[in-house]
Amino acid sequence: MTQPAKVTIDIWSDVMCPWCIIGYAQLQKGLATLQGEVEAEVRWHAFQLNPDMPAEGEEQQAHIARKYGRTPDQMAGARAQMIEIGARAGYSFDYAGEGEAPEARLWNTEKAHKLLLWTLAQYGPEKQTELKLALFDAHFQQRRNVSDPAVLADLAESIGIDRAQVTAALDNAVLGQQVLEEQRMAYDMNVTGVPAMVVNGKYMIPGAQEPETYANALRRVIAREAELAARAG
């Protein structure tokens, strides 16, 4: 029986980006169609869409209007489209927290990225993905402040990571430098938006794609790698 081809998928992403969770959900659907063909290891990398975001954050609609010059009607149309595509991908952007929904705000994500990098190094890619998904849910479905160290500790604790370890990781200046290095790495690959997925360190899949697009791209990568290996052999 043929063993599935092993691939690594490195995803540059920001917790504030709705298309990043949509892209991941679509990727998982694409991988499901490749069961038995592909065994994928997913690793998340830091990309801050708004590295200069102040500690108090910014109301979402105000930020989009200021940064992109969109009108309320344009924003409403774009959000409706995003919600529809998210639903098809299997992800809901509906508020699921306690009480009345607070206003949607965008936050600085440096600390979240530090914690994600630390989790990958200490616990591996599966636990890192677990944390990443918890961060997405906290931001989009619960509207929590994911720049708050206490919130980050809560989320890490919910997936089995000790709070004291989180505090130490967030205070680690070296991790802050690694966040900047990962952002520079993305720029060196001409990544200007996220999600950006890199398969086996060489093949870029930009943006949130449909499941079949991911599946076809992975099949092409596997075929190409096999061809190169045959030539080398």
3 state SS of 225: helix
Write down the pLDDT at residue 2: 79
- Alpha helices (runs of H) in the chain, residue ranges in sequence order: 18-32, 60-68, 72-89, 110-123, 125-140, 149-158, 163-170, 173-188, 211-232
For the domain that residue 71 is a member of, what is the CATH number? 3.40.30.10
- Whether the pTM exceeds 0.85: the reply is yes
The per-residue DSSP string of 76-141 comes to HHHHHHHHHHHHHHT---S--SSSSPPPPEE---HHHHHHHHHHHHHH-HHHHHHHHHHHHHHHHT
User: Residue 65 is part of which domain span?
Assistant: 5-232
pLDDT of residue 232: 83
Per-residue pLDDT of the chain (233 residues; tens, 9 = 90+): 578 999 999 999 999 999 999 999 999 999 999 999 999 999 999 999 999 999 999 999 999 999 989 999 999 999 999 999 999 999 999 999 889 999 999 999 999 999 999 999 999 999 999 999 999 999 999 999 999 999 999 999 999 999 999 999 999 999 999 999 999 999 999 998 999 999 999 999 999 999 999 999 999 999 999 898 888 87
Number of domains in the chain: 1
